Amino acid sequence: MRHPVSIMLCLGGAVFLSACQDNSDAQVQRALKDVNVIDESNLNDVMLSVADPNEAVEYFTRTLEQNPNRIDVMRGLARSLIRAQKTTESAQVWRQVVAHPEATPEDRVMLADALIRSNQWAEAKAELNQIPPTHESFDRYRLEAMIADSDKNWKKADSFYETAAGLTTTPAGVLNNWGFSKLTRGDTQGAEKLFVEALTYDPQLFTAKNNLVLARAAQRKYELPVVKMTQTERAELLYSMALAAIKQGDVTVGKGLLNEAVETHPQYFEAAARSLEALDANVKM
């Protein structure tokens, strides 16, 4: 009579062991899933930073096909398309992000960014207008400044550039853009001041160095500014200054600067040499 009890105990033990095994398997799967999420997150970061842009596009496209509702993957694909210089495709993906239930105002900012990059200014302005005024971010005001620039609303542009510069610890890029805006308006002194300020934050920013030279040349200041530069950069800046001088009618000054650029460059400076030859030919004629 004890056998049924023994059988029941054995069966009960088997059920218990099975339940423990199932529970253990479930815990293992959850743990593995957590690890996979961490690994995938790290991989996503790698793809967005150091991976080849086209490889990143392929990775996020493939991952999105497997996980069509994941907004983080959509964002990764959109950013990768920007890196791959496929701005129109990026804007299309950002529209999908904005339509997602988990979308944030910053996603719409990124959509506006992609639209500007693809030269769709009116669409970008419409997107920015939909963002609540309570959402304040560096990128939002940077883009607002660019839109105001395109509309030649200088007062608003200056206000947005100033706000954007105050919202980042690395304002060199936006200060350079602001300076270029002032340069195109003819405010050469204001532009020069902003380019100098940009270089205090990023002494390696060559576009700011070149723009600074152009702002000074527009004031007929034909000496290179005291900024950190390589020998190659020095030659290229002399070349930019020479062209600006010639354009303003200061041909003799420009010719001298072209000669100096050719002599300064550590290698053969074809563009400067060709400009010098063309200038000599015109003078002889």
> In the chain, where are the structural domains located?
45-124
Predicted pLDDT at 46: 72
- Measure the CA–CA gap between 183 and 181, rounded to whole angstroms: 5
One CATH from 1.25.40.10, 3.30.70.330, 3.30.930.10, 1.10.3720.10 for 45-124: 1.25.40.10
- Measure the CA–CA gap between 8 and 112, rounded to whole angstroms: 69
Other C-beta atoms lying within 10 Å of the C-beta of residue 267: 8
- Measure the CA–CA gap between 80 and 75, rounded to whole angstroms: 8
* Residues 118 and 88 sit within 8 Å (Cβ to Cβ): yes
Amino acid of residue 97: V
pTM: 0.79
Predicted pLDDT at 40: 55
Give the rounded percent of residues in the chain with a pLDDT score beyond 70: 83
Predicted pLDDT at 27: 54
The owner of tokens 């542009």 is: 157
- Measure the CA–CA gap between 94 and 108, rounded to whole angstroms: 8
Which residues in the chain come in under a pLDDT of 70? 1-43, 49-50, 283-285
* Residues 240 and 269 sit within 8 Å (Cβ to Cβ): no
